[in-house]
């Protein structure tokens, strides 16, 4: 008997990918046959990384995990999930602050596509306060982000900082 593979989609902007994202995707990869990490293509004015860079970074982070794949998507998430034959949407929950928006999205997606379930997962405690927005902010102000993002993200950001030091960075 060949069971239908269980496929989950993990959508987000991943600008940049953080250890919180990595934690959730790894947990999902243990539960599902295939996990499709879907980078949302939206009209963000000043992204930190281009879509191609984000996809390349995520591919590198999960290079050793054959059941994790990465793509970009646009339009309705449920349409994309159907197209990938995914039965589940995975979302990470950090704190109560995530809940209201996530609750609305999950119910709207259920309204649009009743067979697709949204599953919420909690990251390891030490990642519950990390968001891409905070990483972007801390990095732009010259703060340390090691341990909060995968080493490939840190390396790319450090290379950038070297090429374009902060305007108020001391050189002496
Ligand atoms: N630290 C984290 N722990 C658990 N889940 C997370 C974490 N960071 C993000 N996620 C989840 O990953 C998914 C994709 O989120 P997204 O790419 O918007 O990240 P984000 O950190 O919220 O970015 P931004 O700060 O730009 O909104 C969402 O389900 C989000 O809740
Ligand atoms: Mg967010």
Q: pLDDT of 114-170, one tens digit each? A: 999 999 999 999 999 999 999 999 999 999 999 999 999 999 999 988 887 776 655
Name the catalytic one among 13, 21, 54, 156: 21
pLDDT at 1 over 70: no
Is 111 in the active site? no
Distance between CA atoms of residues 29 and 8, nearest Å: 9
Is 21 in the active site? yes
pLDDT in tens, 17-56: 999 999 999 999 999 999 999 999 987 778 999 999 999 9
DSSP state letters, 45-102: SS-SS-HHHHHHHHHHHTTT-TTEEEEEE-S-HHHHHHHTT--EEEEE--SHHHHHHH
Distance (Å) from CA 135 to ligand 2 centroid: 12
Around ligand 1, the residues with Cβ closer than 6 Å are 12-15, 18, 20-21, 24, 91-92, 94, 98, 123, 127, 130-133
- Residue among 44, 18, 51 at smallest CA distance from 154: 18
Is 133 in the active site? no
pLDDT at 95: 84
Percent of the chain with pLDDT over 90: 84
Average confidence score pLDDT of the chain: 93
Backbone angles phi, psi at 119, to 5 degrees: -115, 130
Backbone angles phi, psi at 109, to 5 degrees: -65, -35
Note whether 18 and 147 are within 8 A (CB): no
- Residue among 120, 26, 25, 116 at smallest CA distance from 77: 116
Note whether 110 and 77 are within 8 A (CB): no
Distance (Å) from CA 99 to ligand 1 centroid: 12
């Amino acid at each position: 008997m060949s069971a239908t593979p269980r496929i989950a989609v993990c959508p987000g902007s991943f600008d940049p990918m953080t250890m919180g994202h990595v934690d959730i995707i790894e947990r999902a990869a243990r539960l599902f046959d295939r996990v499709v990490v879907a980078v949302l293509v939206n009209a963000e004015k000043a992204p930190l990384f281009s879509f191609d860079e984000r996809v390349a970074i995520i591919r590198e982070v999960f290079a050793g995990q054959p059941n994790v794949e990465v793509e970009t998507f646009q339009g309705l998430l449920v349409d994309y999930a159907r197209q990938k034959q995914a039965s589940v949407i995975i979302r990470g929950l950090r704190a109560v602050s995530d809940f209201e928006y996530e609750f609305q999205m999950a119910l709207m997606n259920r309204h649009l596509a009743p067979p697709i379930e949204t599953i919420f997962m909690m990251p390891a405690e030490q990642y519950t306060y990390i968001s891409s927005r905070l990483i972007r902010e801390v990095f732009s102000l010259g703060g340390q982000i090691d341990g909060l993002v995968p080493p490939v993200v840190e390396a790319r950001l450090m290379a950038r900082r070297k090429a374009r030091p902060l305007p108020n960075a001391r050189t002496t």
